[in-house]
Structure 1
Amino acid sequence: MKITLYQVLSDEKIEASVSGDVITINGEAVDLSVIPDGYRLPAAAVNNPLFVPGTYVERVGAHFELTLRFPVEWDTHESVRAPVTPIVLDVKRGKVKFPNTEPLKND
């Protein structure tokens, strides 16, 4: 899965994992297997608040492309909070390794 992150200021937490055509986000499994190759589904149809409205979940061959809300805080490092180019994670299976949102320590 290619997961594009859409940063939002929030103290929410996000955890996700991928297994085949299923992405589990904060404990809720979302089965994307109903989307045929070459088709896309409006993210709102997934009915999960972490999928970004106005975007799509698309199957391209054997993988999916989607956009998720990514909670960051005001003091998250700028390269993660407001990156110059979108952050895209390519996850084959297992736990999604999101960027660190912890603020930089000033020692």
Structure 2
Amino acid sequence: MKIKLWADFIDGPLEASVNGDVLTINGEEIDLSGIPAGYRLPGSAVGNKFFVETDYIERIDGVLNFTLRLPVHWDSPEEFRNPAEPIIIDIQNGVVPFPDTSPPTPEVFEPTPLPEEPENGGFEPA
């Protein structure tokens, strides 16, 4: 399978695995074995919110090709929200290695301790 990722501001985790022509998304099995070479099916026909409705699922040279929505947030890394090149995952079997689009952890700054002031307010005896 060749899975193209489309960044989208949608809620929910995206976990998927592939076993032959069966794609499992968040526990829902989607059997794509019925799509023969040279034919295509609109993404909307699958009925899963992660398939891009306006794109097609098609078999090209024996390989299923389709586009899935990749959940991103407004503060996800720019390389996932607006990639310079489409992100394509080529996988035959196993867990789909989606990129981690979670926002970066904010850097925590530790305050610099102030120097201790002497008890006499900094005055020196005469």
Q: CA deviation at 1:68?
A: 0.5
TM-score (norm 1): 0.93
SS at match of 1:79: helix
1:4 aligns with 2:33: no
**Letter aligned with residue 55 of structure 1:** D
* 26-35 or 60-69, which deviates more: 60-69
Mapped partners of 1:16, 1:3: distance in 2: 11
In the comparison of the two structures, how many residue pairs are matched? 107
2:79 paired residue number: 79
Q: CA deviation at 1:106?
A: 4.6
Where structure 1 has 5 or more consecutive residues not aligned to the other structure, the ranges are none
1:69 paired residue number: 69
Q: Which structure carries more relative contact order (alpha carbon 8 Å, separation 6+)? A: 1
Q: State the identity %.
A: 50
TM-score (norm 2): 0.80
Mapped partners of 2:45, 2:103: distance in 1: 34
Mapped partners of 2:78, 2:66: distance in 1: 23
Where structure 2 has 5 or more consecutive residues not aligned to the other structure, the ranges are 108-126
**Letter aligned with residue 99 of structure 1:** P
Q: CA deviation at 1:26?
A: 0.7
Superimposed CA distance per residue, residues 43-74 of structure 1 (whole angstroms, 9 cap, x where no aligned partner) = 11111111101100001132100001110111
Mapped partners of 1:23, 1:92: distance in 2: 10
Which structure dedicates a bigger proportion of its chain to strand? Answer: 1
Mapped partners of 1:71, 1:102: distance in 2: 9
Mapped partners of 1:40, 1:51: distance in 2: 14
**Letter aligned with residue 101 of structure 1:** T
Between structure 1 and structure 2, the one with the greater Rg is 2
Mapped partners of 2:28, 2:53: distance in 1: 18
1:58 paired residue number: 58
